[in-house]
Amino acid sequence: MELYSFTIHELQEKLKSGEASSRQIVDSVFSRIDAVEERVHSYIRLMKEDALTAAAIADENIKNGDIRPLTGIPVALKDIVCTQGIPTTCGSHILHNFVPPYDATVVQKLRDAGAVFVGKTNMDEFAMGSSTETSYFGPTRNPWDLDRIPGGSSGGSASAVAADECIASIGSDTGGSIRQPAALCGIVGMKPTYGRVSRFGLIAFASSLDQIGPFTKDVEDCAIMMNALAGYDPRESTSVRAEVPDYRQFIGRDINGWRIGIPKEYYVDGIDPEVSMAVKIAIEVIEKCGGQIVDISLPHTPYCLAVYYIIAPAEASSNLARYDGVKYGFRAAEARDLMDMYKKTRMQGFGPEVKRRIMIGTYALSAGYYDAYYGKASQVRALIRRDFDEAFKKCDVILTPTTPTPAFKIGEKTDDPLQMYLSDIFTISTNLAGIPGISVPCGYTRTGLPIGVQFLAGHFEEGKLLQVASAYEKNAAIEKRRPTL
């Protein structure tokens, strides 16, 4: 096996034993990128020179006995987290030339843990999308089938891990943007509890929903990444000062006697039959692990999509008002006056999906409509969160499909926004409630497309998720296939 195909924990052993160096691992990853990136398009920008410099430092540190959790490991960053001196575009023309003067907290945490940054990954513009088709830099393709989407908005981060173009990556999840592409690309993806991972330096889409999390090749790697990412940040106002455990201690523990909630509202007409069958088999595996299946109800689930598509666009309308061509980013040329410059900059700088959501959000916040739309949606959001609070009194974790279908074809839903939005129907509620969720591979369709199963837990119970996901991963023994790029 090539070095690029190993997990973080496997490479850690090779680095400690001297069987491999960070330089060799980084060279292996970039050789893989050279071979497949032209077809997959996971990246907006590669950082090879920086990566080689960091690898040299990592190898020197290893010689001196300074081995940190991610020393020498190649990691990719979604192009929504600020990187000092390196362009951060959010997949948008309006930020195509923006160079941040500081690092996001997660970038600094990963660097402190020893990670080597490979590049900035492609994404739906301003994280608004479920397919990575709205990027100004063109679509990313699913490594399992290049005619299909990798999911979104963190499709570049997911496809990079699935295609072995990095060992792990970072994404952001506002309504499923980590878990949905993880499922469609056959890897592990976690959305932590809101407030568990700092959002300082994350370019905002919807501030009350956004959360940063990892993509990895297996559950143990997810625990390693969470150890590096989680923790209180005084620079971030919604960061929570909560104790952070060693997440690796949850790997390999049994779940005998755990109550596994199955919400009736998530098993409805419209789920692809192969997805439904794979999730039913996953439930059987959990039962064999000692889990006790409990029927639960999340009665306000039918309102989640409507609530999300009021709250998220409203917050986006507010957050994206700062992109006006004055302070940074793209500025339209040949404007007659200041107002004309504002209009032309935003018209030329934003893509159709971003404009759509800004208009929806601006309308929802406008005088005479705020109470009827944003105010009412916020009230229903509280009921959705209460549903989960009540459900977790009856069960330890909840098991659901991650997505209603496998990856669909590129262009298949671009003319039907509602169908595109329905791609996140099983993930949106988690963001509205602020709870953590994880997607783990649970099988393949007859044509070889990956399928994911989702586990949800209460606030700040990422350890529980890693424990149940680890037990499932071990006992399901899903065939370890790789994309045939």
Cα separation, 229 vs 214, in Å, equals 9
What the block records as the tokens of 225 is: 């990444």
Cα separation, 281 vs 287, in Å, equals 10
Residue 153 is a catalytic residue: yes
What the block records as the tokens of 324 is: 């006006």
Q: Which of 453, 421, 429, 403 is nearest to 130 (CA)?
A: 421
Q: Which of 22, 28, 153, 317 is catalytic?
A: 153
What the block records as the tokens of 17 is: 């034993």
Report the amino acid identity of residue 393. Answer: K
The values of phi and psi at residue 401, to 5°, are -65, 155
Q: Which of 21, 28, 78, 135 is catalytic?
A: 78
Tell whether the torsion through CA atoms of 199, 37, 350 and 152 is positive or negative: negative
Q: Which of 177, 251, 78, 163 is nearest to 437 (CA)?
A: 177
Q: Are 180 and 152 in contact (CB under 8 A)?
A: yes
Residue 78 is a catalytic residue: yes
What the block records as the tokens of 269 is: 């007409």
Q: Which of 363, 352, 374 is nearest to 420 (CA)?
A: 352
A 10 A CB-CB count for 458 gives: 20
What the block records as the tokens of 71 is: 């020393």
Residue 177 is a catalytic residue: yes
Q: Which of 190, 170, 167 is nearest to 179 (CA)?
A: 190
Q: Which of 21, 169, 177, 317 is catalytic?
A: 177
Tell me which residues are annotated as active site.
Answer: 78, 153, 177
